[in-house]
Chains A and B, each alone.
Chain A
Amino acid sequence: MSFRQARWDEPSLWDLAPPRTPVAAAEVPGVPERFRRKEAIRWPELSEPEVVRHYTRLSQMNFGIDTAPYPLGSCTMKYNPKVSEMLARRPGAADMHPYQPETTAQGSLEFLWKLERLLGKVTGLPEVSLQPSAGAHGEYAAMLMVRAYFRDRGESESRTEVLLPDTAHGTNPASAAMAGYTTREIPSKDGCVDVAALRAAVSARTACFMLTNPNTAGLFESDILEIAEIVHAAGGMLYYDGANLNAILGVTNPGRMGFDVAHLNLHKTFATPHGGGGPGAGVLAAGETLAPYLPVPRIVKAGRKFRLDYDRPRSIGKIRSAYGSAGLDLRAYAFALSHGEEGLKHVARRSVLNSNYVGAKLGRYLPRPFRPLVKHEFVLSGAPLKDRGLRTIDLAKRLLDEGVHAPTVYFPTLVEESLMVELPETESRRELDQFIAAFERAISDTPENLHRAPQHLAVARVDEVRAAREPLLSWKDLRTAGAKAETP
């Protein structure tokens, strides 16, 4: 497919209408002189059409799932249903303050409560909180819950270690460390947890083992029941990173697999839009052991009435303001209602079918380091590209020129020059075949063209090294740099 991205020479806001400075700020009665802003905020005064054109032009220089597939592994970039967007804008959803009396917010409490019950069934971990703002936030809250649990058992001094596989998302070790744990990586064997290594690593120091299943290599950890047994026998908790839940909806669930607590990403599995980097919406789901530690408030139902319950003495407290991102939860609820029992199962089956289909096709061009049977995603190694003087990044950039997004690159790190590809259930066979054809054109192109890619986008290859070496992080920096450049 031929593709040329818009390439506007669009100035930044401040160059559209350079603000006159300094401008005295408005006076507000009662504000003490010391507190009064002496110069107005330095920002342009623009008309609505100018602002709208500016951001419309910028939007035309951005990929989205509505323009083409987004095969980012572990990101589950699926279509975001329009009906969810429409419903989230209803006044009954948008025009609600979290501090409204519960009697005036029964509708919000009802759909949040129902979504919680539904997610409890999906995960097999019945107690659910929708408070986390994203997946990593949920991981972090879960680690705080694990810590609180061991504190109650008088083991917080001794259980200081969180174990995780070397294929774990970077957020896992970062979240564990923020919660005060030291982390230790368990090596993988053929892309899955090396069970013998795990057995040797667990001890009375183990607080938790964090695992994604299917993992970031796209493989189902078939030894999961044994893994759960090993961790529990050592007295540790088992944590489920739900980033890849899409592939196993209705097939198995964290509860069945023996996990004690899980986070889900509603912006992956339940199709809330990713917003160019957020907002996300995290979910915490816990079994019996850790449920008392979930954040407050919890939603409880008494008769037909719902209320917020703060009487949870063992709760870790709050991890953010308000109850959670109800605006996103509503979108996820609409998604789940639409699919229902069979639909959610079909989501998993089709996403797994898609990735196995594309994996088999792309395996003709690049080696697949692990077994061919995958779940939601698969990994390729771009190592052979080196023979042609190329790297994975060149292939990724050349794919952009085809109008499709690149896969996740250089992760998981245990595969040399890795590419991680995920094409969720919302990609039709036609789209998959077009992606495969685009991949073939990209990898078959001349080394020169790959090095020069991308050529069809708003900008050519971006110099990220320069961005980090000479940081220009705001308009203020640009002004300073400009002034320096003008000084002889």
Chain B
Amino acid sequence: MSRWISDEPGEEAALLESLGISSVDELFSDVPKKARMGRIGIGPGMDEPAVVSEIDRVLGRNRPLSRFASFLGGRIRSRYVPAAVDAMLSRSEFYTAYTPYQAEASQGMLRALFEFQSLWVEMTGLDVANASLYDGATAAGEALLFCRRIHDGTRFLVPASLPWEEKSVLRNYASGPNLTVEEIPFDDRTGRLDLEFVRRAVAQKDVFGLLADVPNGFGHLDEGLFDLRPILGDVPFVVSADPLSLAVLEPPATYGADVVVGEGQGFGISPAYGGPLLGLFACRKEHVRAAPGRIVGATQDAVGQRAYALTLVTREQHIRRSRATSNICTNESLMALAFVVYASLVGPRGLAELQRSLAEKARTLAGTLSGIDGLRAPRFDAPYLGEFTVEVTRGTASEFLDRLRRRRILGGHPLTDPRPGASGAPERILVATTEFVGDREIQKYGAAARSAMAAAGRSA
């Protein structure tokens, strides 16, 4: 029997005796016979060495990123996690705690979350951040619903270049209240949003919000964002920002964002095949009562010292039930802790320096790939930071990536929606640089790409 359940001789008997019963079965007399199940049908339990050995066997079938020169990116990042981040996350007072409902017993986590909120406020230029949402995509979904609470309308505009996963999540969040998600076309050369399309849509008076991402789904920066505020008038403007980019880019509030969401995983959280992740959300103070999620506030205790507590809870599901601003309960507190610990260890200068270094590598990589026949790299003529889009014009993107993989290169990920019947998009891949690739890996990518294209030429 498991070491996690006490099994002292006589223990169970004493509990039963205290209850005046002879068997635990009596405690299940309220479960009707017809609803009882037989065996679960799973194997017998295993002791700890056996579990470790079995899971190590399974994990042995994986080939982790470190075995490759990896250029995978997108919203989920492969980035170095300083040992001190994990050391702090491993403090079991943090990771084995529950949601800080009892403020007095939870000042540590409440203060860490207050610092996290403060950091996202500083990074975005907005006023209020919540204590986290599930991930960047659901944060965008919550932002959509938030916009509808503060503005009338039925249409929500998003870039056609937004990653397909996020579009799908947004369409789900929009479907409850019967709202539509409409795609803004982009310029084929630069990837920039068609601002005339936005102007015409807004003029029809039924747009309740617009989301744009920085960098965009192609990895590029769209200066048109600076012209959106006057076009939008009072229509809420959501920016979905990569947190690291904000170390070197203007805070979105300066160009008129009402909401800034983002995926925070890159700050101190391993990619772990997709999660846990971290949804970031900030808005203006006047809209705080429409905001989703938990919020920590500073207050005082009974003797007048500074103390912290979850606040503005009347927005939330446990109080407001069907009229809550969101259904979210459990969020990503520990990941929020990772975010603020990471940023504090690296510091504002370190973050900017990291983003600068990734941007330089990306320029080197683009230079290496740009002359190769069968590739357009970068596909768009627009500024970029640490990643950009490559279009495969000879053969398919998946054939290209396969050929690279055989040379131990993960060359990026396809931007196409993998669902059958999804609109036939061009063969584009997003290529990202990381701290783990340098000149050698970039040269290797270039050589492998050249030979992959030569092979594609032969098989064509």
Same complex origin of A and B: yes
Determine the residue in chain B with the shortest Cβ distance to A46: B344
Q: Does B459 contact A (CB under 8 A)?
A: no
Q: Are A36 and B249 in contact (CB under 8 A)?
A: yes
- Among residues 74 to 121 in chain A, which have CB atoms less than 8 Å away from a CB atom of chain B? 75, 77-81, 83, 85-101, 103-108, 110-111, 114, 118, 121
Q: Are B72 and A99 in contact (CB under 8 A)?
A: yes
From known contacts A63-B93, A75-B98, A180-B175, infer whether A474 and B118 are also in contact, taking CB-CB under 8 Å. Answer: yes
Q: Does A446 contact B (CB under 8 A)?
A: no
Chain B residues whose C-beta falls within 8 Å of the C-beta of A37 in the assembled complex: 246-251, 352
Q: Are B275 and A466 in contact (CB under 8 A)?
A: no
Which candidate, A194-202, A230-238, A269-277, A382-390, is the interface stretch facing chain B? A269-277
Chain B residues whose C-beta falls within 8 Å of the C-beta of A52 in the assembled complex: 84, 87-88
Chain A residues whose C-beta falls within 8 Å of the C-beta of B46 in the assembled complex: 337-338, 340
Counted as pairs of residues, one from A and one from B, with CB atoms less than 8 Å apart, the total is 693
Q: Are B275 and A327 in contact (CB under 8 A)?
A: yes
From known contacts A43-B343, A106-B62, infer whether A36 and B248 are also in contact, taking CB-CB under 8 Å. Answer: yes
Which residue of B8, B94, B297 is within 8 Å of A468 (Cβ)? B297
Chain B nearest Cβ from A174, distance in angstroms = 4
Q: Are B96 and A274 in contact (CB under 8 A)?
A: yes
Which candidate, B389-397, B412-420, B437-445, is the interface stretch facing chain A? B412-420
**Per-residue CB proximity of A32-74 to B under 8 Å, as 1/0?**
1011111011111110100110111111111111110010100
Q: Are A342 and B44 in contact (CB under 8 A)?
A: yes
- Among residues 227 to 270 in chain B, which have CB atoms less than 8 Å away from a CB atom of chain A? 246-251, 263, 270
Q: Does B323 contact A (CB under 8 A)?
A: yes
Chain A residues whose C-beta falls within 8 Å of the C-beta of B275 in the assembled complex: 133, 279, 281, 320-322, 324-328
Given contacts A27-B356, A274-B98, A429-B15, 17 further A-B contacts (CB under 8 A): A29-B363, A36-B249, A36-B250, A63-B105, A147-B175, A174-B320, A183-B322, A251-B37, A275-B335, A279-B276, A321-B165, A341-B44, A343-B45, A353-B19, A405-B105, A425-B5, A426-B6
Q: Are A276 and B337 in contact (CB under 8 A)?
A: yes
Which residue of B35, B76, B300 is within 8 Å of A321 (Cβ)? B76
Q: Does B58 contact A (CB under 8 A)?
A: yes
Which residue of A308, A373, A473 is within 8 Å of B288 (Cβ)? A473
A286 to B137, CA, bound (A): 24
Q: Does A461 contact B (CB under 8 A)?
A: yes
Chain B nearest Cβ from A425, distance in angstroms = 5
Q: Are A278 and B62 in contact (CB under 8 A)?
A: no
- Among residues 1 to 58 in chain B, which have CB atoms less than 8 Å away from a CB atom of chain A? 1-2, 4-6, 8, 11-12, 14-16, 18-19, 24, 27-32, 34-37, 39-48, 51-52, 54-56, 58
A326 to B276, CA, bound (A): 7
- Among residues 329 to 350 in chain A, which have CB atoms less than 8 Å away from a CB atom of chain B? 330, 333-334, 336-347, 349-350
Q: Are B334 and A96 in contact (CB under 8 A)?
A: no
Q: Does B221 contact A (CB under 8 A)?
A: yes
Q: Are A353 and B12 in contact (CB under 8 A)?
A: yes
Determine the residue in chain A with the shortest Cβ distance to B265: A321
Which residue of A107, A338, A425 is within 8 Å of B59 (Cβ)? A107
Chain B residues whose C-beta falls within 8 Å of the C-beta of A89 in the assembled complex: 86
Q: Are B221 and A31 in contact (CB under 8 A)?
A: yes
A385 to B118, CA, bound (A): 40
**Per-residue CB proximity of A459-488 to B under 8 Å, as 1/0?**
111111011101111111110000000000
Determine the residue in chain B with the shortest Cβ distance to A250: B40
Q: Does A12 contact B (CB under 8 A)?
A: yes
Q: Are B45 and A278 in contact (CB under 8 A)?
A: no
**Per-residue CB proximity of B388-414 to A under 8 Å, as 1/0?**
000000000000011001000010010
Chain A residues whose C-beta falls within 8 Å of the C-beta of B277 in the assembled complex: 133, 320-322, 325
Q: Are A460 and B249 in contact (CB under 8 A)?
A: no
Chain A nearest Cβ from B158, distance in angstroms = 14
Which candidate, B182-190, B194-202, B309-317, B450-458, is the interface stretch facing chain A? B309-317
- Among residues 373 to 417 in chain A, which have CB atoms less than 8 Å away from a CB atom of chain B? 373, 396-397, 400, 405-406, 408, 411
A331 to B272, CA, bound (A): 12
Q: Are B84 and A31 in contact (CB under 8 A)?
A: no
Q: Are B313 and A468 in contact (CB under 8 A)?
A: yes
A29 to B72, CA, bound (A): 22
Determine the residue in chain B with the shortest Cβ distance to A282: B330
Which residue of B128, B171, B321, B419 is within 8 Å of A296 (Cβ)? B419
**Per-residue CB proximity of B97-112 to A under 8 Å, as 1/0?**
1111111111111011
Q: Are A311 and B419 in contact (CB under 8 A)?
A: yes
Q: Does A204 contact B (CB under 8 A)?
A: no
**Per-residue CB proximity of B274-304 to A under 8 Å, as 1/0?**
1111000000010010000011111111110
Q: Are A473 and B128 in contact (CB under 8 A)?
A: yes
Q: Can you pick out 9 interface pairs between chain A and chain B where the beta carbons lie within 8 Å of each other?
A: A51-B345, A62-B106, A66-B93, A97-B72, A101-B410, A133-B134, A174-B326, A311-B420, A313-B420
From known contacts A35-B383, A96-B272, infer whether A462 and B247 are also in contact, taking CB-CB under 8 Å. Answer: no
Q: Does B162 contact A (CB under 8 A)?
A: no
Q: Are B102 and A400 in contact (CB under 8 A)?
A: yes
Q: Are B105 and A277 in contact (CB under 8 A)?
A: no
Q: Are A429 and B129 in contact (CB under 8 A)?
A: no
Chain A residues whose C-beta falls within 8 Å of the C-beta of B370 in the assembled complex: none
A182 to B176, CA, bound (A): 11
Q: Are B172 and A83 in contact (CB under 8 A)?
A: no
Q: Are B100 and A276 in contact (CB under 8 A)?
A: yes
Which residue of A65, A341, A458 is within 8 Å of B39 (Cβ)? A341
Chain B nearest Cβ from A110, distance in angstroms = 5
Chain B residues whose C-beta falls within 8 Å of the C-beta of A59 in the assembled complex: 88, 91, 93-94, 108
Q: Are B317 and A171 in contact (CB under 8 A)?
A: yes
Chain B residues whose C-beta falls within 8 Å of the C-beta of A260 in the assembled complex: none
